Structure 1
Amino acid sequence: MNKHIHLRMKQIFNIIFLACTIVCICFVQNGYGKTQEEINSLGERLDKAPENSTLKVDILLEYGQYCLEKVGELKVDMDSAMTFQNQAFVLGQKLGYIKGIANAMILKGRIYTEMQLKNQAIIQLKRAFLFAKKHQLYKQQGDFFIHFSQFQNNEIDGIEIKIGYYIKAIQLYHKANAHEDEATSRKMLGDYYSILGKSNEAIEQLDLALKIYQDIRFKDLQGVYNIMSGVYSQMGNYELAIKYGLLAVRTAEALGDESLQLSSIYNKLGISYLYLGQYQRALESWQKAATIAEKYQDADYLRIIYDNIVNAYSGLKKFKLALKQLIYIEKNYPPNDYHTRLMLQYRYVMLYLDLKQYDKAKPHFQELIELNKDTSKDIINQMYINHVAIRYYIETKQSDKAYSFLIDQDKISRSVANKKMLYENYLTWFKADSALGNLSEAIKHYKLYKVYSDSVMNAQKAKQISNLQIQFDTEQKDKNILLLTQKSELQNATIRNDRIIKIISISGAFVLIVLLLLGYNRYQLKQKTNLQLEQKQKEINLQNELLKRLLNEKEWLIREIHHRVKNNLQIVISLLNTQSAHLKNQDALEAIQNSQHRMHSISLIHQKLYQTENLASIDMKWYIEELVAYIKESFNVDKKLSFKLSTDDIHLDVGQAVPVGLIMNEAISNAIKYAFPNQKGEITIELKKESEKLCKLLIADNGIGLPEGFDVEESDSFGMSLMKGLCEQLEGSFEIQHQHGLTLKVIFPINFELTR
């Protein structure tokens, strides 16, 4: 997990600098984009409007706005927009239409802005504001602050000024009852707050925007859902991030939205998937985002999408593909500002570290440190630099240089209130302390890591319990509804009987009395039966509730035991690792490493048991893959040896899984250490069902085999004795063959008592 901390952490702010731009583009397209049918309708309305009317002023302004917002920014469109604006302004003055005059003045300022005539745009917008203020036109005053904010940059200082403008605009829109404008401004304000890392303020504004949109029945809600998804990701609440991301996708697709906004939605959805470790889904989301973004050819935005795809490839451990993608980005979308230059070097360092090519990582890291000298130490860039520096110094055995970056990263993690980031930083800190022999500090930071990681896990468990309680309550309601239905059917039967009695009563008083007595008697019997059924149902419900509570408590205790056993084993492994840093005796070091491997093989079993619903058995296919991956990483044999795995769908209980895992650990470790001196080779691992009740474990290598004269039966080595003893524990047979290498075969009966 530590290996990819930077993947999760980096995504918090991955598209943050372009979020404002994208939302603005989408706002324009959703608010003012016209279909051909709407354009034709607009032309018809203009032709039919009375010559000297305020309606014609409004339609002229709408036409001018359409020309301004057309894709392409052609000069002919700007000229047309200015023509319609002038006509509306002149007619508005002639009619004394104050609102129309103010809107025409604002439109002219916007046209100047689009034509890159900044000074003229500022003068025109200020004139419009003074005119609107004089005539107490609150909406138009709000429009001034929104459009005037565009002259600020998208750096931290510029965004803070924009926030002030948007707060003023919201107050004015609220005063003017301009609900849609107020909601849109709150949405943008929430986006700006998220850029500054003020997540709580952002969610507050976005919730208000969503409520206003829903009150006025505004349908294009994908934009606000999209921003909410990004903010919840920033806060570390990935489930809500996924929820709002999928809401944004469904809403956009339902409305036929194919704009750049849909690309942004897929982009943020991919980020949320990445947080949860679902790299393939993240890759698919980003590929969809890239397909849409290619249509618009926005270089800055495409650079971000392709950078995210690099992330996905890294998460899938396809490092060469990720490096190829990064080279493509540098060639086709070269960095054009400080942040993109920093991110490019950051990516190169991380990928070369993943590939263990430290010599190639070094020049990129040095350039990154040089870039760090020029930054204003804003929180976003500093997070990237901290992560790359911590990882680089630890992996290149310079742990002492990582401390200043660890301290700074701790402060940043606390400021954004992300517990996941915090405990991952403490785990890295623990490793740095261990490498330098600072045992007291290592223990301190490991305890902090456990406190925060357990806090996150407990929160997740509490949510699972809540969901189970809701499910249980729903089932109880269904049972109550069924009981009420039965009562209703009984009552209907009684009514039908009463009707029959009334018809028969016409035949005679005697027959009437008899039938009434029979009917009354039957009614009493049914009532008595109903009471008995209800009493039995209550008893059954009480027993079911008691049994479920006992079962939940039992499962919870078992899961907690496995969790604590796994944690204790991990602590022992970590302490052995720390102790090994101070030993020089090779035999002692090897003994400690062997003990670590054995404990890790047991720890994997307990980890799997408390993380899954099945507390009785282990999926051996998963376990063998995880154990082999761990051993390969421990002995660093990726290039030297290959592993061939063949495993049936076999589940074993803990009593059998532990000895099988220890036998595998011993056999594979011995093969790696002794079977292939200065040569490449292959290790084959099979776990097959020999029959319905028997299982065969085979571990073979094509190495040099046993030395001449070596007698397996007479061997007194600890590893061989351990494997024989474990085989006896399994009540199985133990056989070693040494032709063309060494083959170990264990056949043992499967214990079905707990696995079925």
Structure 2
Amino acid sequence: MGKHIPLFNKQTLLLAFVLYLVQGICCPQKSFGKRQEELRAVREGLKTTAENSSRRVDLLLEYGRYCLEKPGELKVDLDSAITFQYQALEISKKLSYTSGIADAMILQGKIYSEMGFRNKAIIQLKRAFLFAKKNKLYQQQGDFFTTFAQFQNNELDGIATKIAYYHKAVQLYHKDNALEDEATSRKMLGDYYSILGKSNEAIEQLKIALKIYQEIHFKDLQGVYNIISGVYTQMGNYELSIKYGLLAVRTAESLGDESLQLSSIYNKLGLSCHYLKQYDKALEYWKKAASIAEKYNDTNYLRIILANIVTSYMKLKDYKAALNQVAFIEKKYPPNDFHSKGRIPYLYVMIYLELKQLDKAKPYFKKLLLLNRSEPKENIHQMYLNHAIIRYYLDTKQPEKAYSFLIDQEKLSNSVKNNKMLYENYLTWFKADSATGNLSEAIKHYKLYKSYSDSVLNADKTKQISNLQIQFDTEQKDKNILLLTQKSELQNATIRNDRIIKIIAISGAFVLIILLLMGYNRYQLKKKNNAQLEQKQIEINQQNDLLKRLLNEKEWLIREIHHRVKNNLQIVISLLNTQSAHLHNQDALEAIRNSQHRMHAISLIHQKLYQTENLATIDMEWYIRELVSYIRESFNIDKRLSFDLMTDPIILDVGQAVPVGLILNEAISNAVKYAFPVGRGEVRIMLKSESEKLCKLSISDNGIGLPEDFDVEESNSLGMSLMRGLSEQLEGTLEVQNQHGLTLTVVFPLKSELEHSVINT
């Protein structure tokens, strides 16, 4: 019973493809050629549309987006996008065209992002969102969330955040009946759910997206078909995977789409063929995918496709070609992240195990073991590492060490609902049980293997999939015959037209001579006019340079003023600190500490103003977090006291930020000092948009509250007097509630200057 049993009987399970599948690229829906056709329509529209009209605004914005999203990173495209965005914004303001203003603000945020000004882009997009929310523009609010999602990383936590943003966008688009945008957002949700291994959720979103696209007669469906194909491959449903993969190819070719998206389509088709043991067909598709990815110089995606090609060579028993390909990947596309670092040793281990060269496989196995320990067990990318480790342990006659990895593999296979991965894992488990003499478990796992393998691929499914491929190949041949016929007819028409062209050419030459003479005369006039215009342009440029210098000097002076104010406040704080060292009166020391806290609250505002590009407004969400952090440090607060911060993305100017900061400082300091004489507690700080023009600031605690006989209106305490005075300065109202602790609420209006700045930004 201790006899060693080979792991796969020369059938190599390549779970690395799970990794390759979930890292599929999310390509644009429309090919660049399609976008160029739409651009020509935009240009024609701009020629015929009135100067000040909402239609012109929409065309300018479409042109700006095209320039920004155009392949390549040319400065002239970015400059064009800025120009069109500015023109659209100015016309929208004249017309009070609110949706145009919101779209222009969002486009400006995208431009900032493209320029590398991340913080500026985030602030601009938040302003656009507030403006859209104020004017009940649901589509633009949805655009904010889809744009803001791109600021998240592509790790698991970032993808979860993106999913949350896209769900919000779907609700807003649905509310505004923006069907194409809703479908595209659902398509993105399907893509991100598939990356997380949530196949059922992915299929649900993708099917809804496909239905909406078909209802609005949207033709560019290859992207949706491609993602659906990938998800079905992930689930082990290769019949539907092949069906939607072939639909994606047929749609892309019919629309002339030769973008990087076609590479993704071929890659996933190759993956399905590989799982169906059609290795020659898989190699053919993967070579097509690699050719397109190489054309676009997408190195990350090339690593994935070239590694897939290695697995085809292994299945075809061309181990020399497989080793050469791995060496090529390692040299030309060296690993740059966890997944690519694990891919190279994985491939070497699998090749050397197939060649029975265990000594050569051992050093790469050790690398995989280290990577396996450093990656979270619930991560789907763990599967291909587990597979190689299990294979190595069984081939080196150490089956008892494989059990923990077999258990992990079962959990991960169940998490992505992939029956193929399950039955291959149960087959491996059966062989491990047999090798260790555990017959009862071996029988159990063999039954599970048979049960799942029968459900994945039976004879009927194989026949259906072959029929799909034959149907696709037949259509391709018919298409080629039609193209040859059309080419022949075109050649005959060309011969007939040659005679007409000769006659036209002679007449054209005569007309050309006349036009050249007229053109020379016009050239002389234009040359003279250009000289005059150049002189005027020089004068204008000189004036512009002078204005730029004045503007730079003004910004530098304002920044220097904020810097010096902050420094002076810090000096005063230091002086008070020095003075307190010579005082022994506790009341005096307390008064000095309170003054220091108030000065620091103001100092934080001036510090933020000179450190950022915006010299007039403060992001209150950032400010509140900084102030709470300072108070925590000043009072040496331990874990008994917690803070709950709930803030909207509200931007205030200096005139309102200073009194709000002082109120926050006073209320939080009082809560820390007096609200919790014993026990644990919580301080809750909330800054929300109460309505379109009102803000609500609330500081509450669950402490002992004020004494029952305490009269707020009659109180002469400095803190309460200060908060009342600051509330009046904000033109707001101060309300104190003494129930279940103490709650201070200030409701104040946003200044009209801020609203104006948001619209004109």
TM range (shorter): 0.5 to 0.7
Distance 2:353 2:466 in 1: 41
Shift of 1:441: 2.7
> What letter is aligned with 1:63?
Y
SS at match of 2:242: helix
- For residues 130-529 of structure 1, the aligned pairs below 5 Å read 130-456=130-456
TM-superposition CA deviations, 1:184-204 (whole Å, max 9, x none): 111111111111111111111
1:15 aligns with 2:21: yes
User: Given that residues 139 and 172 in structure 2 are in contact (C-alpha distance below 8 angstroms), is that contact kept between their aligned partners in structure 1?
Assistant: yes
1:507 aligns to what? none
Which shows bigger deviation, 44-53 or 137-146?
44-53
Greater gyration radius: 1
> What letter is aligned with 1:408?
D
SS at match of 1:376: coil
User: Given that residues 13 and 234 in structure 1 are in contact (C-alpha distance below 8 angstroms), is that contact kept between their aligned partners in structure 2?
Assistant: no
> What letter is aligned with 1:377?
K
Shift of 1:155: 1.1
Shift of 1:39: 3.5
SS at match of 1:250: helix
Shift of 1:452: 3.1
> What letter is aligned with 2:448?
L
SS at match of 2:136: coil
1:43 aligns with 2:43: yes
> What letter is aligned with 2:208?
L
User: Given that residues 42 and 59 in structure 1 are in contact (C-alpha distance below 8 angstroms), is that contact kept between their aligned partners in structure 2?
Assistant: yes
User: Given that residues 8 and 274 in structure 1 are in contact (C-alpha distance below 8 angstroms), is that contact kept between their aligned partners in structure 2?
Assistant: no
Identity %: 66
Distance 1:29 1:134 in 2: 36
Shift of 1:466: 14
Change in CA separation of 1:292 and 1:80 when aligned onto 2, cut-off 3 Å: same
> What letter is aligned with 1:152?
Q
Change in CA separation of 1:361 and 1:464 when aligned onto 2, cut-off 3 Å: closer
> What letter is aligned with 1:151?
F
Shift of 1:293: 1.2
TM-superposition CA deviations, 1:382-439 (whole Å, max 9, x none): 2112111110000011111111111111222222222222222122112112222233
Change in CA separation of 1:27 and 1:12 when aligned onto 2, cut-off 3 Å: same
Shift of 1:45: 2.3
Change in CA separation of 1:132 and 1:434 when aligned onto 2, cut-off 3 Å: same
Change in CA separation of 1:435 and 1:154 when aligned onto 2, cut-off 3 Å: same
Shift of 1:294: 1.4
Match of 1:26 among 11, 23, 28: 28
User: Given that residues 239 and 464 in structure 2 are in contact (C-alpha distance below 8 angstroms), is that contact kept between their aligned partners in structure 1?
Assistant: no
> What letter is aligned with 1:416?
V
RMSD: 2.3
Shift of 1:460: 5.4
SS at match of 1:15: helix
Change in CA separation of 1:141 and 1:401 when aligned onto 2, cut-off 3 Å: same
Distance 1:84 1:217 in 2: 30
Change in CA separation of 1:113 and 1:466 when aligned onto 2, cut-off 3 Å: closer
* Larger RCO (CA within 8 A; separation ≥ 6): 2
Change in CA separation of 1:384 and 1:462 when aligned onto 2, cut-off 3 Å: closer
- For residues 66-85 of structure 1, the aligned pairs below 5 Å read 66-85=66-85
2:623 aligns to what? none
User: Given that residues 138 and 172 in structure 1 are in contact (C-alpha distance below 8 angstroms), is that contact kept between their aligned partners in structure 2?
Assistant: yes
> What letter is aligned with 2:29?
F
TM-superposition CA deviations, 1:498-520 (whole Å, max 9, x none): xxxxxxxxxxxxxxxxxxxxxxx
User: Given that residues 239 and 461 in structure 2 are in contact (C-alpha distance below 8 angstroms), is that contact kept between their aligned partners in structure 1?
Assistant: no
Change in CA separation of 1:232 and 1:186 when aligned onto 2, cut-off 3 Å: same
1:128 aligns to what? 128
SS at match of 1:151: coil
Query: Which segments of 5 or more consecutive residues in structure 1 lack a partner in the other structure?
Result: 469-756
User: Given that residues 342 and 368 in structure 1 are in contact (C-alpha distance below 8 angstroms), is that contact kept between their aligned partners in structure 2?
Assistant: yes
> What letter is aligned with 2:314?
S
- For residues 700-711 of structure 1, the aligned pairs below 5 Å read none
SS at match of 2:344: helix
Shift of 1:455: 4.4
Shift of 1:332: 0.6
User: Given that residues 28 and 69 in structure 1 are in contact (C-alpha distance below 8 angstroms), is that contact kept between their aligned partners in structure 2?
Assistant: no
2:8 aligns to what? 2
Change in CA separation of 1:75 and 1:466 when aligned onto 2, cut-off 3 Å: closer
User: Given that residues 283 and 312 in structure 1 are in contact (C-alpha distance below 8 angstroms), is that contact kept between their aligned partners in structure 2?
Assistant: yes
User: Given that residues 394 and 432 in structure 1 are in contact (C-alpha distance below 8 angstroms), is that contact kept between their aligned partners in structure 2?
Assistant: yes
> What letter is aligned with 2:18?
I
Change in CA separation of 1:378 and 1:73 when aligned onto 2, cut-off 3 Å: farther
Change in CA separation of 1:28 and 1:221 when aligned onto 2, cut-off 3 Å: closer
Change in CA separation of 1:463 and 1:432 when aligned onto 2, cut-off 3 Å: closer
SS at match of 2:154: coil
Distance 1:97 1:452 in 2: 60
SS at match of 2:334: coil
Shift of 1:41: 3.9
1:112 aligns to what? 112
User: Given that residues 5 and 424 in structure 1 are in contact (C-alpha distance below 8 angstroms), is that contact kept between their aligned partners in structure 2?
Assistant: no
Change in CA separation of 1:4 and 1:139 when aligned onto 2, cut-off 3 Å: farther
SS at match of 1:228: helix
- For residues 671-750 of structure 1, the aligned pairs below 5 Å read none
Shift of 1:241: 0.4
> What letter is aligned with 2:19?
F
User: Given that residues 50 and 56 in structure 2 are in contact (C-alpha distance below 8 angstroms), is that contact kept between their aligned partners in structure 1?
Assistant: yes
Change in CA separation of 1:288 and 1:389 when aligned onto 2, cut-off 3 Å: same
Shift of 1:450: 3.0
Shift of 1:114: 1.7
TM-superposition CA deviations, 1:486-535 (whole Å, max 9, x none): xxxxxxxxxxxxxxxxxxxxxxxxxxxxxxxxxxxxxxxxxxxxxxxxxx
Distance 1:47 1:417 in 2: 55
Shift of 1:377: 2.5
Shift of 1:34: 2.5
- For residues 540-619 of structure 1, the aligned pairs below 5 Å read none
> What letter is aligned with 1:27?
Q
Distance 2:65 2:277 in 1: 45
Change in CA separation of 1:91 and 1:411 when aligned onto 2, cut-off 3 Å: same
> What letter is aligned with 2:115?
M
TM-score by length of 2: 0.58
Distance 2:39 2:461 in 1: 54
User: Given that residues 33 and 66 in structure 1 are in contact (C-alpha distance below 8 angstroms), is that contact kept between their aligned partners in structure 2?
Assistant: no
Distance 2:372 2:343 in 1: 11
Query: Which segments of 5 or more consecutive residues in structure 2 lack a partner in the other structure?
Result: 1-6, 468-761
Shift of 1:348: 1.2
Distance 2:439 2:58 in 1: 75
User: Given that residues 193 and 202 in structure 1 are in contact (C-alpha distance below 8 angstroms), is that contact kept between their aligned partners in structure 2?
Assistant: yes
SS at match of 2:35: coil
User: Given that residues 236 and 456 in structure 2 are in contact (C-alpha distance below 8 angstroms), is that contact kept between their aligned partners in structure 1?
Assistant: no
Change in CA separation of 1:129 and 1:460 when aligned onto 2, cut-off 3 Å: farther
Shift of 1:28: 6.1
SS at match of 1:34: helix
Distance 1:461 1:38 in 2: 45
User: Given that residues 14 and 311 in structure 2 are in contact (C-alpha distance below 8 angstroms), is that contact kept between their aligned partners in structure 1?
Assistant: no
Which shows bigger deviation, 51-60 or 171-180?
51-60
